[in-house]
Structure 1
């Protein structure tokens, strides 16, 4: 029933299988790709005709992760996959970027590339598999695609490159790099690195390119078995005469416009030249008018590219290595926790840093389950930043991608959660744009975090590099303008510290570049990054030592795990009471690490004192602050250490006699108490009279020492009787005989030792401090040693 075609290779120590003919047979091309137990289906469909008047290539890539692939049910109310997550958006761009340049010029048929993750084993990431499957599906579909491409992820652990590493290997290593390439040249690079050198990064790209070739060969092997007949492309019309006509008419105007350094004036002059050229074809057929528009763009590109290759002169008059003027300032916004205004030429970003507590972390629901992220970077690109009218609302794919690029640049230099237990959000609002607003975000984001007091390992700067390539002649451009990006062949962004690279992203508009060109671009980018770092240091050279007055403070400490339930309480009762009473936020993890946060230090201190009072043991002889919580006839119960109660007996309130406790103390009254005794059951006996209630200093006991009782010392007890007999007469300092009664008796008590010092002679009716209730425990009444 199924005409299935399959190819398999050993790839990074695992089997990569590409299959077609079994699933999605009505699509133009469909591939079921398997690596380990991860399975991705990619289906490609293409429109057979082009809409009238259409002059662009409508390629759409969708990547979707099915939760069933990992045996999970989606969270939320609807319980089904809905809008694209951030990861799905990023992977869709990852697939789109290397395949888009490989469609021939003039091909405007609409194409859908849909990749769906059907099975995920938790080890082999589906994004690389989706890129390979998309390339294979396009290759066998018959559409004019100048591929195939391969893709590979590279890690770097202990000085060794690893092909398609696991998540654990990536976390343990210093690099995560993704490369897409044809058999001949690299098409795309995406990476995050822990301050690695240019040599290590270039070596990783070369290592990945070798793995890409293996995937390309597997796709070619499958295509030889299952590829459909290629589409016939309509012959391209000869436009030489039209191009010569436009060059004579507006060539000089375009050349003059591109010598104007101001973007607004340059755009105005270019629009005038374009209108002039358009008017020359006003009476032509619609297709010819559309072709004329394309020819004007080509003419612009030839003029700009020719000037750069000929004498190194760029649009704004700079040479190929020169960086535009930079101005940076920090503490730009008074109420933000940290802020920076970064301006480079006509590109400008306002970056703010906000610090939050653990409950502000971003919860992410994906194939691997719930995870939490404490660093977020959000990038916004409003239309006014380029002087245009346009859509303003939720971020699009481009904004999500640019924000993630800046995130990768800054993430490697962040402190650990133990060093800096804050949730960090960096917001970048682009207010002007003429080239590499994402790298302005990196620079501004670094400065704003330093202004907020985030202890970065080192400041980070970023630069965008361009390329003009004609045959064997090429020029690498530092800090490219928007027009140089549009008219050039490469957009190569590099960010890092003085110690090394933290991220590298490259997109190619031609059929790839060589290792020689990439090395030249990396070396030139290193010089540019150093210059930008020096300019940034003029605004702020190191992280501030103090947080903003408006930022929350977080104090961390640990308790014994066995005490966690005492802090939380039944159903969270205790921890809720702490938060409600003190106003501070309290977070506690399973290891007993407690984080207390508030913008008011007094609230933090109150909460910490409360918690420590719950978990710490009272010390005999130590003075504590307390609060009277209950009055009784024989004294007052005092709460101290936040969660402990003890009794101040009436005799320990003052040195003089206290007739009525309520005459001296009131409920809620703040007092200072000293721990006198803790019995084996944990009952605590406190004293106020030996503590200065103003200063908390201990006082000498001013009570007179008590005299020994009459009759001298008591001798040792005699042996108990078998059960009968009464008390014998008292002997010399002791008792003779025994107690009567069933079961208890004895010949008599021997002499007892002397009573402890400080005990006054027993008065009639009780001790010197007044009678004690019959139900009071003996250790509270003071009547026993």
Structure 2
């Protein structure tokens, strides 16, 4: 991950780390020399060479034809049928079917590579640098606080954004920091139907967790600070269809949905997956790889970022290493592809919405004197609990005297804010208050002008004192009084003469 780091800096950092790692690699090689055991020598059946040659002559022309099929599932079915037809010609081949399947996959990879180097065309007919058609839909559904569908070829991701209050932060147990709360989280779902499979949809697997973490890391540097945007932000990405690079489509869909939700992120973030075909000393970088190009190629290099730099990268390679020149070319082409996609995204929605969804909660953070926050909490949390129930809000007392108030309506938030400010306010001499009578005595009325702030209106300070106070006034009755004095114990004294 990075905070919009330029490609040149990323490249230098990777090779700096590689040089630092070389002594560790040498120690591992020495460990192998000292303690390693020889690899098992697999002896193939005597007629195996002939079977492989027969497979090549039988399948190769058919594979060339099958690889020209544009639709992923139809192409997969055609390739599978070729293999099954070949296997059916042999009676006792089932015991070696897995090994033969490996050879068949190598043959498909070889055919794909030959087509690329000879014709400059990929499986779906694209040139090496060509990106699949992109389609973007903003706010396709009314109820989510923000949503977007991002489609690139046969990869489609629907992302929704939910804005929540502080208690909805995700609690994470970190080995380094202990329990921490996450303000921003991205959850990535990869249901079986997105690849045409029919199997139960269980808990998140390693792949889903990893891809979700990659997409979350790509967007996280652009998320505003809590002081600017006091919401908990959750992005849920559902992959509707997958044919390569669903994690990078998730980055794009997530960025669009955040804009739609009105989250004030500074820029769009986009992602692209780069591939590599290395054959007989020749190399070819390909942009926006398909699922088969990932499986049959030599590299899956995912790069996400803004126009100004990279925010996350991830790479799988199947070869022994990459030269600095090849990696530099991949990063350069990834930047060009990213800028192309970002143009499409800015066309769809150019800036975050100025107003939030009417379904989003209302949040306000106020600051009170830190030494008075105990008044808001009350004994055993009694006061804050009563405030929540009375105002239908969620209230969190934070560090530094900050108080977070969340409600479904602005009226609820304003009421909670008014009551909290009253709790921590001081009674001021000369100010007129509306107070509630809490006690009636022959010598005067006890009146609560602020929560917990009770003072005496003595009969001597009344303009027209009645003969019997209990007959003239009722407990709970609201009257207007003016503060004329505060005694040494902090108790106010009132008059009803203004």
Which TM-score band (shorter chain)?
A: over 0.9
Counterpart contact for 1:613–1:640, Cα < 8 Å: no
Partner of 1:579: 388
CA gap 1:273/1:623 in 2 versus in 1, 3 angstroms:
farther
* 1:445 and 2:445 are equivalent in the alignment: no
Partner of 2:105: 297
Q: Residue 180 of structure 2: SS of its match in structure 1?
A: strand
* 1:514 and 2:328 are equivalent in the alignment: no
Partner of 2:222: 413
Superposed displacement of residue 607, structure 1:
1.8
Superposed displacement of residue 627, structure 1:
3.4
Superposed displacement of residue 404, structure 1:
0.5
Partner of 1:234: 42
> What per-residue deviation string (whole Å, max 9, x for no partner) do you get for residues 460-493 of structure 1?
1111111111132111111111111111111100
**Runs in 1 of length 4+ with deviation above 6 angstroms?**
none
Counterpart contact for 2:159–2:254, Cα < 8 Å: yes
Question: In structure 2, what is the Cα distance between the partners aligned to 1:681 and 1:250?
Answer: 97
Partner of 2:127: 319
CA gap 1:588/1:286 in 2 versus in 1, 3 angstroms:
same
Q: Residue 491 of structure 1: SS of its match in structure 2?
A: strand
More helix by percentage: 2
Counterpart pick for 1:523 among 325, 328, 332: 332
Superposed displacement of residue 685, structure 1:
2.8
Counterpart contact for 1:467–1:475, Cα < 8 Å: yes
Counterpart contact for 1:374–1:424, Cα < 8 Å: yes
Counterpart pick for 2:487 among 667, 679, 695: 679
Q: How does 1:202-217 map to 2 (within 5 A)?
A: 202-217=11-26
Partner of 1:594: 403
Partner of 2:378: 569
Counterpart pick for 2:242 among 433, 437, 444: 433
> What per-residue deviation string (whole Å, max 9, x for no partner) do you get for residues 78-97 of structure 1?
xxxxxxxxxxxxxxxxxxxx
Q: How does 1:294-693 map to 2 (within 5 A)?
A: 294-368=102-176, 369-649=178-458, 658-661=466-469, 665-687=473-495, 690=498
Q: Residue 318 of structure 1: SS of its match in structure 2?
A: coil
User: Any gaps of 5 or more consecutive residues in structure 2?
Assistant: none
CA gap 1:480/1:687 in 2 versus in 1, 3 angstroms:
farther
Question: Taking structure 1 as the reference length, what is the TM-score of the superposition?
Answer: 0.60
Question: In structure 2, what is the Cα distance between the partners aligned to 1:547 and 1:605?
Answer: 18
Of structures 1 and 2, the one with the larger relative CO (CA 8 A, separation 6+) is: 2
Counterpart contact for 1:587–1:594, Cα < 8 Å: yes
Q: Residue 675 of structure 1: SS of its match in structure 2?
A: strand
> What per-residue deviation string (whole Å, max 9, x for no partner) do you get for residues 582-641 of structure 1?
222111134222111112222222222222222221222334444343444444433333
Counterpart contact for 1:250–1:276, Cα < 8 Å: no
Question: In structure 1, what is the Cα distance between the partners aligned to 2:242 and 2:353?
Answer: 29
Superposed displacement of residue 688, structure 1:
5.0
Question: In structure 2, what is the Cα distance between the partners aligned to 1:652 and 1:325?
Answer: 83
Question: In structure 2, what is the Cα distance between the partners aligned to 1:196 and 1:432?
Answer: 31
> What per-residue deviation string (whole Å, max 9, x for no partner) do you get for residues 659-699 of structure 1?
55566654444555443332333222345564xxxxxxxxx
Partner of 1:32: none
Counterpart contact for 1:613–1:644, Cα < 8 Å: no
Superposed displacement of residue 651, structure 1:
6.8
Partner of 2:80: 271
Question: Taking structure 2 as the reference length, what is the TM-score of the superposition?
Answer: 0.93
Question: In structure 1, what is the Cα distance between the partners aligned to 2:150 and 2:306?
Answer: 17
